[in-house]
Amino acid sequence: MAAEEPLVTVFIPPLVDVIRWAEDAKGEPLTEAEVTAIRDEAICLTMRQSHAQALESKRGYPDLDPENAWQEWQAIRSELMPGHEEADE
């Protein structure tokens, strides 16, 4: 019997988009606590890893790793949010 494909967590909509929208609405950088709260309250589901990879491929960009959401957001926010200053936290 073949091993079952692992299930992975997928945010719907992508976590990176939810954080970007929240920061845009706020008009200034989010704090680490705000990003963490958004991550903790975001809608997600589980799906087979191959389906998640297909979804990401179709979307055209990767989502944030929820375990490293703050660090990854800081790394890509300047690309997504030009003109916004960096967060202090």
Measured distance CA(3)–CA(23) in Å, rounded: 41
> Which amino acid makes up residue 24?
D
Residue at 86 is within a domain: no
Token digits of residue 7:
């299930």
Residue 77, pLDDT above cutoff 70 = yes
In percent, how much of the chain has pLDDT > 90?
Answer: 81
Residue 85, pLDDT above cutoff 90 = no
C-alpha angle 43-49-54 in degrees, rounded to nearest 5: 85
Which residue range is the domain that position 43 belongs to?
7-80
C-alpha angle 36-40-44 in degrees, rounded to nearest 5: 130
Identify the DSSP state of 68. Answer: G
For residue 76, CA distances in Å to 3, 31, 62, 80, 81 come to 36, 15, 11, 7, 9
- pTM given for the model: 0.83
Residue at 25 is within a domain: yes
Residue at 11 is within a domain: yes
> Which amino acid makes up residue 73?
W
Structurally, the chain folds into a number of domains equal to 1
pLDDT of residue 80: 80
Residue at 36 is within a domain: yes
Residue at 20 is within a domain: yes
Contact 84, 23 (CB under 8 A): yes
